[in-house]
Structure 1
Amino acid sequence: LRLLALLSPSLLLVFAIIIVPIGWLFWLSLFDEAGGFSAANYARFFEQASYIKTFVTTFKVAFIVTGACVLLGYPLAYMLSQLPRRAASICLIFVILPFWTSVLVRTYAWLVILQRKGLINSWLIDLGVISQPLSLANNFPGVVIGMTHILLPFLVLPLYASMKTIDTDCLRAGMNLGAGPVATFRQIFFPLSLPGLASGVVIVFVLCLGFFVTPALMGGGKVIMWAMRMEQTTSLYSNWGAGAALGVVLLVVTLALLGLFQWLLGARATGVWSSR
């Protein structure tokens, strides 16, 4: 009872700001445009090709952006983890610095850089690499570039924290036993860094599923993601029930993926320990 009394303020806060809004969202999704109780909003998701296309596009962008963040973020986090403490702290400031600027401002900056007469195309033309400007904005590549830049710190920070906790004695022991630098990294360092990598991947992937500002601006109306479909359904068509249903579907899919990911991590950990 004492523990319950101590936890009650936190539980009430969670109930008020999470459980109640989600419950209201689900309740709202059960009413059609005429105000009647119906499951038509959920049936529309399976019947209309535009919703399926949006669903596929959202996950396609999420997988590509997450993969790009891993490819760029892992070497960066590894480099930071190998630097002296003072140098690493200075470099981490540059990783955190983008958080001080809004997503909207950074997205518009990328629009200026990637447009046909922007900085990148101007440099490539001046260097003679290309003769005609590349189409880098208002399309799918623009969305991927913008989202990768914005979400990259969300992968680097937990990965760096995980790498810093790796005991260097384990690495030295491996090298003393005859393992070279590559084998030490592959068999010792990389497996020990996987928890941080997994955390970063989950954060980036989940954020991708609900991203709105950057796809809306960088996609030029050609790349419609799930959050954009929800906004169109509610603001343009004033169909709050359908918009709520889209939100519920996104929430359920996200929770299912998180559960699957947690299960895979648990199965992998069990397999590792049993093999030992």
Structure 2
Amino acid sequence: MTVGTVPAPRRRGRLGPGGGGWTLVVPLVLFLGVFFLYPLVQMARESASGGLATYEAIMTSPVYRKVFANTLTIAGATTLLCLVLAYPYAYVMNKVSPRLRLALMAFVLLPFWASLLVRSFAWIALLQDSGLINQALQGLGITDDPVSLIRTTPGVLIGMVHIMLPYMVLPLYTAMARVDGRLLLAASSLGATPWRRFVRVFLPLTLPGLAAGCLLVFTISLGFYITPALLGAPSQAMLGEVIAEQVEQFGLTTASALGIVLLTGTLIILMVVALFAKRLGRASR
């Protein structure tokens, strides 16, 4: 009597030098190489076509220094305002019933259903001197004359915060949803006040989502172009607007150098945040 042998199960491909799993990554690598890495190399070559003189002119020009300051200031203010608005909103989303949570999530995702250009033009209609906001302020007797909301920094911040708010809410909500409620109950049973329970337990546990949201909003805001161009004044131009203007005037060398400066600054910010998050994670252990 012979006993049949059961064939051994086939091993799945591994992501290693001898495995076939790397073939799954090849399309992505080719896509990034053709549509991201190659244009980036070409931009770096174009920026260096005039030597270091282009970079020296950018760094020493008071006009570009003001543009850099505007970009960092508006991006930082947008991040701060998004955080102030998104944190309580995400907290409420985490506490309400599933049906109401779905409605709140729909309000967060609503801006994605319209084009960025359409939303920016809508804010022009709302913020102009004869717009709906000024009509409401004058109708309520709050002001007699129209308030200048367009072609100003507050107007740019309103439009950018409206666009960037979902990028802050979603990481915060995800981090808050992972917080174990039993930890808060344990803190209450040990005599912690609601404020102390929030500061010592809830807030530290949501720091990863807070850092992710702030980093996402800040880095995207650094390269904004359409909204500041439509709602802001020329004196408040951001780096994305200047790059687009240089491209339109066929100043490709300067535009490429500005793009490299923006990319380098963003990478430095990412490295600093990563090191800070790493140290913060070690300190919390």
1:18 lines up with 2:30 in the alignment = no
Aligned twin of 1:255: 267
2:47 maps to a residue whose letter is S
Larger radius of gyration: 2
**Cα-to-partner distance string for 1:157-204 (whole Å, 9 max, x where unaligned):** 111111111111111111111112222111111111111111000010
Q: Which moved more, 1:3-12 or 1:41-50?
A: 3-12
Q: Distance in 1 between matches of 2:161 and 2:269?
A: 21
Report deviation, 1:18.
Answer: 2.0
Aligned twin of 2:144: 131
Q: 1:120 aligns with which of 121, 133, 140?
A: 133
Report deviation, 1:6.
Answer: 4.0
Task: Give me the CA root mean square deviation.
Answer: 1.2
1:7 lines up with 2:28 in the alignment = no
Aligned twin of 1:106: 119
Report deviation, 1:222.
Answer: 3.3
Report deviation, 1:127.
Answer: 1.2
Contact 1:139 1:222 in 2 (8 A): no
1:264 lines up with 2:276 in the alignment = yes
Aligned twin of 1:82: 95
Instruction: Mark the runs of 5 or more structure 2 residues left unpaired by the alignment.
Output: 1-16
2:231 maps to a residue whose letter is M
Q: Distance in 1 between matches of 2:236 and 2:59?
A: 20
Report deviation, 1:30.
Answer: 1.1
Q: Distance in 1 between matches of 2:139 and 2:24?
A: 66
Q: Distance in 2 between matches of 1:181 and 1:64?
A: 29
Q: Which moved more, 1:173-182 or 1:9-18?
A: 9-18
TM-score (norm 1): 0.93
Aligned twin of 2:11: none
| Number of equivalent positions | 267
1:246 lines up with 2:258 in the alignment = yes
Q: Which moved more, 1:258-267 or 1:110-119?
A: 110-119
1:189 lines up with 2:185 in the alignment = no
Q: 1:60 aligns with which of 69, 73, 85?
A: 73
Report deviation, 1:24.
Answer: 1.1
Report deviation, 1:253.
Answer: 0.3
Aligned twin of 1:35: none
Instruction: Mark the runs of 5 or more structure 1 residues left unpaired by the alignment.
Output: 33-37
Report deviation, 1:84.
Answer: 1.3
Report deviation, 1:96.
Answer: 0.2
Report deviation, 1:16.
Answer: 2.1
Runs of 4+ displaced beyond 6 Å: none
Q: Distance in 2 between matches of 1:111 and 1:10?
A: 39
Q: Which moved more, 1:171-180 or 1:241-250?
A: 171-180
Report deviation, 1:122.
Answer: 1.1
Report deviation, 1:112.
Answer: 1.0
Q: Distance in 1 between matches of 2:23 and 2:129?
A: 61
**Cα-to-partner distance string for 1:121-180 (whole Å, 9 max, x where unaligned):** 111111111111110111111111110111011100111111111111111111111112
Q: 2:174 aligns with which of 161, 165, 183?
A: 161
1:248 maps to a residue whose letter is I
Q: Distance in 2 between matches of 1:229 and 1:120?
A: 30
**Cα-to-partner distance string for 1:59-113 (whole Å, 9 max, x where unaligned):** 0101111111011111111111111122101210111011010111111111111
